[in-house]
Amino acid sequence: MNLRAVMAICILTLREVARRRLLWILLGLSVVSALLVGWVVTQLVDYARSGGMSEVRIGLGVSQVLVFVAFMFSFVLAMSAAFLAAPAIAGDIESGTLLAMMARPISRADLVLGRWLGLCLVTATYAIASGVLAIGVVAQVSGYSPPDPGVAIGGLMGEAIATLTLALALGTRLPAIAAGSISVVCFGLSWFGGVLASAAGLLRAEALVPSMDGLRLLMPTDLLWRGVVHALEPPLVLLAARGIDPRSFASDPFFAIAPVSLGALTWTVVWIVGVLLVGMVAFGRREL
Amino acid sequence: MRDTQQPPHDPQAVVQTHGLRKTYGRHVALESLDLTVRRGQVIGLLGPNGAGKTTAVKLLLGLSRASAGGGTLLGRPLGDRRARTSVGYLPELFRYPQWLSAREVVWLHCQLCGLPRASWASWTQRALSTVGLEHRAKDRVGTFSKGMQQRLGLGLALLGDPQLVILDEPTSALDPVGRDDVRTIIRAARARGASVILNSHLLGEVERVCDEVIIIHRGRVIAAGGLRALLGAPSLRIVVSGLGDPVGLLRTFAPVMVEHDHLLLQPIEPERTPEVVQALVAAGGRVHEVEPVQRSLEDLFLELVRSGVTEATESFRLPRPPGP
């Protein structure tokens, strides 16, 4: 591994995103989204207060709005990550930009790792900026702060990094548009697999649970999403849920009674590292 | 049967391949390439479109993997990234990050080459001034014409004074001034002891700068050797009257062949033409025509490519001259 080459590619990626105005567009969209969320929450809270609703119930309502905002944001973030990462190598192969670069004394793995690091930094910056903005604006206008905002933002970041890793790895062998599309579909399937697995449990169709779980584990994104939801739920709701049969809300993708498990975190790390390594090997065997 | 046996290592060789072969499914892109490029040599790689020239270059650089055969690049096996430490390459399909300035592109390549940070400024200045782009150093590559981007690529190929420079169609987007600059650059590289592989369709360019040529057709080497050996010796075509024995007189300069209405002296250097004419006139002859004749690389190329590969391989493949 040539660290100097990895850093050169990483910086090139950051510079590309900045020069092509992608980062500024994403951050601008985050500001617009946060202002929109702030305006909507302000309206809702004003209506609720004028109707004499208690602050506890308002807090519960706002927490659910925040979960939906996070849900929307997780898709936006994943799609942005996929469409940023898919052409990062595939586009350079198609345009011929890589020919001159790969004739230098660097390995294919250096290039993949450099691109991945750069894209992770961009995505992390986008996730942190957007998450902090959205949660901050909601707290400002409603007074509700989720219990673990850092965990929620970290979970969203993890989802985006998993999606970009898949798009980058697929882009070493497939055209950019195919790599991006497949990654977004896999992200959606994983989320849907999570819902189906829970529904199969609720409907006592235990025989279907393993296959639904398999679909869910296609990517670690649904596991992380459950952690995000848990981090945004008010402690009162979680406390109240302890007395209820978990199966009654297991199929609800907008409620999680437990934080993200160590097993889920391990699977996330193993999955990301594994897909990245597969991408390196696949690119290593690619004819340029 | 193809001989893929590894030849003895040539200590002067910067590139040495044996039986290098590349197939894509059933399509044979390169049949069997035996190539030796020594220090300070300029080799022209010629062939019609799709002959396998770019494939050969990509195999040397590890951009593509050989289906059979192998070789070394600067003493290391093909594909070893350390072998590329002292190689400069201008691809045929050249494209550089459009959002970077010319200076930033050179910096990027300085970094990828592993050149010390303190030397980047001087390498950048040198690379850009060599190709006449120093006044556009801060401009984005996206604003450059195709010719300017090719010039930039040439500058990058010379970065760090590599021992081997591989230029794939380096003049495809250049005007006549640019082509002349490329010739100067190639000669300068040879003068400092670097080897150059020049892949070009412009046979006149190749003829002017290359020491040896390799002609590839349909993935096979159909001719290889020094230009002089491939093109044959120069000759002088003469039509003369008023002399009893012109052949006897001309034999004092070179062997003579009588062909229809003219005499052909071969081999004879074109510089001796006035001397020959003077002798004929002094002997009382009337000189009607004098024409120095030299087969051009284009003549040879067309002859080989059009005449069928099998026969050409046997008749034109020449033994390699001994190394220095």
Judged by CB atoms closer than 8 Å, whether chains meet at A5 and B91 is answered as no
Per-residue model confidence (pLDDT) at position B90: 95
pLDDT band at B136 (very low <50, low <70, confident <90, very high): very high
pLDDT computed for residue B270 by the predictor: 82
Residue A258 reports pLDDT greater than 80: no
The predicted model gives B64-93 an average pLDDT of 91
Averaged pLDDT for residues A36-42: 90
Q: Cα distance from B153 to chain A (closest Cα, Å)?
A: 8
Residue B316 pLDDT more than 70? no
Q: How many cross-chain Cβ pairs, A to B, lie less than 8 Å apart?
A: 77
With an 8 Å Cβ cutoff, are A95 and B109 in contact?
Answer: no
Give the confidence band of B233 by pLDDT, cuts at 50, 70, 90. confident
Nearest by CB to A5, which of B93, B96, B112?
A: B112
How do beta strands B212-217 and B220-226 pair?
A: antiparallel
**Per-residue pLDDT at B307:** 72
Helix, strand, coil % over all residues of chain B, rounded to 5: 40, 25, 35
Of A71-80, A207-216, B108-117, B266-275, minimum mean pLDDT range? A207-216
- Segment A232-237 mean pLDDT: 78
The mean pLDDT of B16-21, rounded to a whole number, is 92
Kindly indicate the confidence band of residue B317, based on its pLDDT and cuts at 50, 70 and 90.
very low
Instruction: State whether residue A174 sits within 8 Å of chain B by CB.
Output: no
Q: What pLDDT is stored for residue A254 in this prediction?
A: 72
Supply the pLDDT for residue B55. 92
Contact yes or no for B65 and A287 at CB 8 A:
yes
Q: Are B97 and A106 in contact (CB < 8 Å)?
A: no
Across the interface, whether the CB atoms of A12 and B113 are under 8 A apart is answered no
| Three-state DSSP string of chain A | CCHHHHHHHHHHHHHHHHHCCHHHHHHHHHHHHHHHHHHHHHHHHHHHHHCCCCHHHHHHHHHHHHHHHHHHHHHHHHHHHHHHHHHHHHHHHHHCHHHHHHCCCCCHHHHHHHHHHHHHHHHHHHHHHHHHHHHHHHHHHHCCCCCCHHHHHHHHHHHHHHHHHHHHHHHCCCCHHHHHHHHHHHHHHHHHHHHHHHHHHHCCCHHHHHHHHHHHCCCCHHHHHHHHHHHHCCHHHHHHHCCCCHHHCCCCCCCCCCCCCHHHHHHHHHHHHHHHHHHHHHHHCCCC
Distance from CA of A3 to the nearest CA of B (A): 10
Taking the Cβ of residue B277 and every Cβ of chain A, the question of whether any pair is shorter than 8 Å is answered with no
Chain B segment 209-248 residues within 8 A of A by beta carbon are none
- B96 vs A: CB within 8 A: yes
> Above 50 in pLDDT, residue B319?
no
Which chain A residue has the Cα nearest residue B106?
A: A101
Number of domains chain A is built from: 1
pLDDT bin (cut points 50, 70, 90) of residue A219 is: very high
- Is there a contact between A96 and B95 if contact means CB atoms under 8 Å apart? yes
Q: Which domain holds residue A170?
A: 3-284
B 14-73 residues with CB < 8 A to A: 58, 61-65
Tell me the shortest Cα–Cα distance from A22 to chain B, in angstroms.
Answer: 12
- Mean pLDDT rounded to a whole number for chain B: 86
Q: Is A226 exposed, middle or buried (0-12, 13-18, 19+ CB in 10 A)?
A: buried
Which of A99, A104, A105 lies at the smallest CB-CB distance from B93?
A99
Under an 8 A CB cutoff, do B112 and A96 touch?
no
Is the Cβ of A97 closer than 8 Å to some Cβ of chain B? yes
Flag whether pLDDT at A245 surpasses 70.
no
Lowest mean pLDDT among B181-185, B191-195, B285-289, B318-322: B318-322
Per CB-CB distance under 8 Å, the chain A contacts of B95 are 95-97
User: What is the pLDDT, as a whole number, of residue A199?
Assistant: 78
Q: Which of A6-15, A236-245, B2-11, B191-200 has the lowest mean pLDDT?
A: B2-11
Cβ separation B63–A99 shorter than 8 A: yes
Does B63 contact A288 at a Cβ distance shorter than 8 Å?
A: yes
| B99 CA: distance to closest CA in chain A (Å) | 6
Split at pLDDT 50, 70, 90, the class of B303 is confident
Residue in chain A closest to B57 (alpha carbons) equals A103
Exposed/middle/buried for residue B244 (C-beta within 10 Å: 0-12, 13-18, 19+): exposed
What span, in angstroms and rounded, lies between the C-alpha atoms of B230 and B68? 28
> Quick one: pLDDT band at residue A268, thresholds 50, 70, 90?
very high
> Does the pLDDT value for residue B314 go beyond 60?
no
Residue A211's pLDDT is what? 81
Chain A contact set for B77 (CB, 8 A) = none
pTM of the model: 0.83
pLDDT of residue B315: 38
Give the separation between CA B163 and CA B73, rounded to whole angstroms.
10
Cα B72 from Cα B11, distance rounded (Å):
11
Looking at the complex, report in whole angstroms how far the Cα of residue A119 sits from the nearest Cα belonging to chain B: 17
CB proximity B192 to A under 8 Å: no
User: Cβ neighbours of residue A103 under 8 Å, at least 6 residues apart?
Assistant: B61, B63, B84, B87, B89, B91, B166
- Contact assignment for A100 to B97 by CB distance below 8 Å: no
CATH number given to B1-86+162-231+296-324: 3.40.50.300
B142-174, pLDDT tens digit by residue?
Answer: 999 999 999 999 999 999 999 999 999 998 888
Per-residue pLDDT band at B196 (split at 50, 70, 90): very high
Q: Which residue has the higher pLDDT, B42 or B305?
A: B42
Cβ-defined contact of A106 to B156 (cutoff 8 Å): no
Tell me, what's the pLDDT at B292? 86
Is domain B233-293 in CATH 3.30.70, yes or no? yes
DSSP 8-state secondary structure symbol assigned to residue B93: S
Confidence band for B48, pLDDT divided at 50, 70 and 90: confident
Quick one: pLDDT at residue B6?
66
Q: Establish whether this prediction's ipTM goes over 0.85.
A: no
Whether B89 sits inside 8 A of A8 (CB atoms) is: no
Q: Does A44 touch chain B (CB under 8 A)?
A: no
On whether any CB of chain B is under 8 Å from the CB of A21, the answer is no
Which residues make beta-bridge pairs with B123? none
More reliable by pLDDT, B27 or B8: B27
Which region, left, alpha or beta, applies to residue B8 given φ > 0 means left and ψ of -120 to 50 means alpha? Answer: beta
Tell whether B304 is within 8 A of chain A (Cβ): no
Q: What pLDDT digit, counting tens, does each position of A126-172 carry?
A: 899 889 998 999 888 888 888 889 999 999 999 999 999 999 999 99
- Give B294 to chain A, closest Cα distance, Å: 38
Smallest Cα distance from B112 to chain A, Å: 6
Candidate from B63, B97, B99 with C-beta closest to A103: B63
Q: Of A96, A104, A285, which has the smallest distance from its Cβ to B91's Cβ? A: A96
Quote the pLDDT of residue A249: 60
Determine the pLDDT at residue A5.
Answer: 92
Q: Which pLDDT score, from 0 to 100, does residue B322 have?
A: 43
Q: E strand or H helix at B201, and its extent?
A: none
